[in-house]
A and B are shown apart, each in its own frame.
Chain A
Amino acid sequence: MTAGPLLSVEGLSVSFSTDQGFVRVVDDVSFQLAEGETLGLVGESGCGKSVTAQTIMRLLPMPPARIDTGQVLLDGENLAKLPEARMQKIRGDRIGMIFQEPMTSLNPTQRVGRQIAEVLALHRSVAYGEAVPAVIDVLGKVGIGNAERRLEQYPHELSGGLRQRVMIAMAIICKPKMLIADEPTTALDVTIQAQIMELLKTLQRDSGLSILLITHDLGIVAEMCRDVAVMYAGRIVETGPAAQVFQHPRHPYTAGLIASSPRNARKGAHLPSIPGMVPPPGQRGTGCSFTARCSRAQDRCRSEIPALVFNHDRATACWNPVP
């Protein structure tokens, strides 16, 4: 890493207002994303990875959501404190974002070309007629052939893979330095997923894009990301270079996840599995929230939350890590 990080999230905590009062869903999360790199934020449903992404983009409705503490520094500017008008200028211009289900994020009543051009109209005040060459150019970049014809199509006329390419086109047309990709291939078939992963890698190589990749799929992280941060019950429990973390996980949760993949199991043998399930927000106890499912738990784990302790570029939040 040469320059300072492009994005630095520091001690971010987010709560939601519920019938039981405010409930913490993201708890003291810190990570950094360097220029031109990909960081994988990985975890299961409800671990807080998407809420983290939406907080960075300030997409959460507040209330019911609330940022309790922490900063989100983009090139040194704290997004967590920016007024909405200023934030609107950053979304889509300096940070692009793509989601799991392109069909719900595209406007079904508007032609694809117009929707992409709208991003330029908003951030660069370019009229549609003038934007068309740029739109055709960006469609080429995301691998959509026959661009003139595609401009005139509606989202429902496109396949899932093409829709995700349109989303990517909208996200990069203003040449942002950073892209947040929230489960970008989860709704796609595996052969189409491979195409989208190739595309994201190519875009990164060509334009030095930094990518925050949010996924539940450890394999995607291993192939796409230099670094990984594993989230469990609202916290980062382990982080470091992806290759090292996957080869030698230190946190029992990371180790358990990797072991439970049928890919590594002997055929017909029982799969190693993590007993029980993720405790819901508000019922995560006073200590480490993995304690109840952990085979390495000790007394201390029940009462004290372990901090994320760095050792060189790796860190684990565990009182009794895998040796």
Chain B
Amino acid sequence: MTSLIEVRGLSKHYESRDGKGLVRAVNDVSLSVGSGHTLGIVGESGCGKSTLARLILRLIEPTGGQVLFEGEDLLGMNNAALRRRRRDIQIVFQDPYASLDPRMSIAKIIAEPLEIHRIGNRAERAAKVRNLLELVGLDQQAGGKYPHEFSGGQRQRIGIARAIALEPKLVVLDEPVSALDLSIQSQILNLLADLKDRLKLTYVFISHDLSVVRHMSDEVAVMYLGRIVEYGAPEQVLDSPLHPYTQALLSAVPAISEKNRVQRIVLQGDPPNPEDMPPGCAFHPRCQHAMPQCRINRPILESRERREVACHLY
């Protein structure tokens, strides 16, 4: 498998508000996504998953590390080269209400990336927009309407049409169905799966919802406080997790049917303040298996039982 995108030792540190501390939003993250694959990134608020998405697109500048796209380092590129490369990497945001300009017609929203990259003439762009509307399951009349005339699910279809307008290779999906009702969520997940097959796309799929990530992903990375703690195929990471955090996360999801219910591990307290991270493993204050060395040495990701896990238990 050749990787389309490879992230090496990527970090983003912010100065804390009082200027004294450092918030390590993303800390030494490495991963790779094969062409045509979907990598799921899961974790709770503040774990750094959305920051990681923006770093991959270079929407924010990293503190350190590399993002290799087809072997080329995006971080070393000048603006002109980066702009050309951006055609290949697009993003869909969580909130379909906040990410569409309310004053632009749908046709204009979808055509905008084509205009920016000077693709086709006016008639060709209009034809492309019609084609995209059809691809994402919207009526042709939708092009003349405005965002407020659409429901959440339809707006997410518009956001997806805009993201695929440039025929990108990689689409980063940042919580694409989290704002949607359950009956609409499955429609959008099906659409994303169809588009991936038809357009040979590669996805980075970011979500806090484990069942959605399990369904969509070929590989999964679980993040806690800026670091990956477990990484591998969903059959390993989500079906027989090794890291105590992954185990607790999975057990916390309420299950509809009793047979899917596992013994719940209720974590005590809140995640620690990212400005004031505990020494050793960042999870140790909430971990029921914490040992003396967990308070001192930070475990690194190592291969165990067909996945990578960062935990002293293994």
Contacts and interface: CB of A to CB of B under 8 A. Distances in A.
A83 interface: no
B188 to A, nearest CB: 9
A105 interface: no
Contact of B215 (A197, A220, A265): A265
B211 A271 contact: no
Contact of A262 (B189, B267, B270): B189
B291 interface: no
B264 interface: yes
Interface stretch (A15-23, A67-75, A131-139, A188-196): A188-196
A243 to B, nearest CB: 7
A298 to B, nearest CB: 21
Contact of B256 (A216, A261, A272): A261
Contact of A44 (B181, B186, B210, B267): B181
4 closest pairs, A vs B, by CB?
A: A219-B254, A262-B215, A273-B186, A189-B44
Interface of B: 44-45, 151, 153-154, 181-187, 189-190, 193, 208, 210-212, 214-216, 234, 248-249, 251-258, 260-261, 264, 266-268, 270
Interface stretch (A28-36, A119-127, A252-260): A252-260
Given A45-B181, A159-B270, A277-B184, A219 B255 contact: yes
B110 to A, nearest CB: 21
Contact of A260 (B182, B216, B248): B182
Contacts of A189: 44-45, 208
Given A190-B44, A243-B258, A247-B257, A270 B190 contact: yes
B270 A271 contact: no
Interface of A: 44-45, 159, 161-162, 189-195, 197-198, 216-220, 222-223, 243, 246-247, 256-258, 260-265, 267-268, 270-275, 277-278
A309 B277 CA distance: 57
Contact of B267 (A191, A270, A271, A274): A191
Contact of B181 (A161, A216, A246, A275): A216
Given A190-B44, A191-B267, A277-B153, A44 B182 contact: yes
Contacts of A271: 186, 189-190, 215
Decide if the interface of chain A is mainly helix, strand, loop or mixed: helix
A222 B255 contact: yes
A246 B182 contact: no
A217 B260 CA distance: 16
Nearest to B251: A194
A218 B256 contact: yes
Among A192, A246, A265, which residue has the most Cβ atoms of chain B within 10 A? A192
Nearest to B245: A191
B256 to A, nearest CB: 5
Given A190-B208, A195-B267, A274-B183, A262 B253 contact: no
A120 B268 CA distance: 29
